[in-house]
Amino acid sequence: MGDNMMGGGMMIAMGLIWLLVVAVLVLGVFALIKYLRSGGSR
């Protein structure tokens, strides 16, 4: 039983890490687009 719980915790941790990575990438892309747009309009 302890093994199963450990695996579940690892899976949840991996999922949270992936969500964090995806969120950072999306925010970075949006920031880059906004920066390029503001820089190109000048």
Per residue of the chain (42 residues), what is the pLDDT tens digit?
556 666 788 889 999 999 999 999 999 999 999 999 998 665
Indicate yes or no: pTM above 0.75. no
Tokens encoding 32: 């880059």
Q: For residues 4, 9, 10 and 11, what is the CA-based torsion angle, rounded to 10 degrees?
A: 90
Q: What is the pLDDT of residue 2?
A: 56
Give the SS3 label for residue 11. helix
